[in-house]
Amino acid sequence: MLLAILSGLLTALSMPGFLSGVLIWFSLIPLLKAMERRSPIWCGFLSFLYFYTHISISFYWVFPTLTENFPEVFGRFPGWVGGIVFFLMGVIEALPFLGFGILYGIFSKRVRRNPKLELFFVPSLYLLFEYLRGIGDLGFTGGRLSDALYKNLGIVQLASIGGTLLLVFIIVFVNTLFYILVKRRSFKMLYIFMVLGVVYTFDAIVGWYLPPPKSGSVEIVALQPNIPTKVKYNVSEKELLEKFTRLIQGLQNTFVVTPEAFFMTDISKTRTKETLERISSERNLKILVGFPTFGERKYNQVSLIDGKLSSQQYAKVKLFPFVEKLPYPFIFRIFSFLKALDYFDSGKEYTVFKVENFPPFSVQICFESYFSEISREEVKNGASFLIVVTNDGWFHYRTALIQHFSQIVFRAVETRRDFLQVANTGITGKVDRYGRILKILKPGEEARCTFEVSPNDERTIYTLLGDYMVYISLGILLFCILISPSGKSPFS
């Protein structure tokens, strides 16, 4: 059990905002050692414990959000209930890895007899359950092993071929190799240094030969209003309009983007809409503004104002479970008290905004940047660059902001699109198509900044084929199981 917990700790410390991504190459070795020659049920428990430890530490910043911020802002439940919800969140996230451990325990005795099979069996099995964790109404991809590599520009370029799942496969492959080497009586540390030398030499060479950053041909002004959460849900529409007016003072003939839900009310039904339309017309400003809509259907959305409130809008497709949407109500109705502003309806399409004399682009809202399929579909629909608008004002710790911002590094490389994040309290910044973080605003300050982006119409292998690594992994698993000697029953 201690070895499984150690694996979870090492994995967490390798995540963005923690100690060092280098730890990811060793983090699974204790878990593999712990599951050595154990029963399938025991392996399942150890694997669950590993991932629960990892996710609970990696997302520690959710704890004060649930125990302090939510109770204070909405007043629907006491802080101790938020603590229970945090515990259950970790359980839900770790449950898929119960399956990983059980299947590992069933088949590992067979594949361990051939180290070459073991080398490919373990990363394929891990990848399959990592993929399953990210699908469905409760799906989430935060905390993937690949997140640890967001600063390794050379290695990250592989995401344009196979997405972050390819990176996960490589990481687990290296961990399995090290585990096999450590077990040998003739083990020498030199072997590990040689493997890491190859990995980081590849990273350095690819990073060195990347095309240099270009000056963008399109200018976008991002607004970071820095409205604290305690204020945001109580401030009047008039005060928000005054802040918006102050932030855009002196701007003309440009494109302006606000964070998610800059206005907390449906301004399409108030005089604020008319004021924004007048500002847009008089100053020749195109304004992408976030606000919820309440009618027959309720949406968390962004809309374009180009002289008039345009019909071009994007309604959030991937709603955050429990906070914006109640998943599987017949099971989780008891958790409806976690609802934030309201329960929203999911958007139906991945909008590509088309503005005269401006390249086509698409928008994502908040944690949608964690899901690669959204960026991929938007690019396939014709987006030449991408924007994510978010609040991120709920979180006390900078770790949360770093982890969220790091996601656009992978989305940019996967699609070869410049990616701009516009956040209420930060991090607001730009990542180019090669995953380079070129410019950010200091979090926690009211600011505006002009970013230059370069449109691109290239289609990567990953954009075209998606998560094909899942099918490759399934093929590898079947191959390993079929050709390995059966031996005794794994339950004997």
Residues serving a catalytic function are 260, 316, 366
Helix 2-13 to helix 40-58 angle, to the nearest 10 degrees? Answer: 30
The residues with which 451 forms a beta bridge, in sequence order, are 220
Please compute, for residue 297, the number of CA atoms within 13 A of its CA located in the half-sphere on the CB side: 9
**For 400, which DSSP code?**
H
C-alpha distances (whole Å) from 299 to each of 90, 117, 216, 381 are 28, 49, 32, 21
**Both structure tokens of 432:** 């180019």
Please choose, from the candidates 66, 218, 172, the residue with its C-alpha nearest in 3D space to the C-alpha of residue 477.
172
The kind and range of the H/E element at 355 are strand 353-355
- DSSP helix/strand/coil, 264: coil
In angstroms, the first-to-last Cα distance of the chain is 22
- Whether the link from the prior residue into 427 is cis, omega within 30° of 0, is yes
Please choose, from the candidates 50, 185, 176, the residue with its C-alpha nearest in 3D space to the C-alpha of residue 112.
176
User: Count of CB atoms within 10 A of residue 36's CB?
Assistant: 14
Please choose, from the candidates 346, 311, 348, 305, the residue with its C-alpha nearest in 3D space to the C-alpha of residue 325.
346
Query: Which are the contacts of 311, defined by CB distance < 8 A and separation ≥ 6?
Result: none
Q: Give CA–CA dist 226/217, Å, rounded.
A: 28
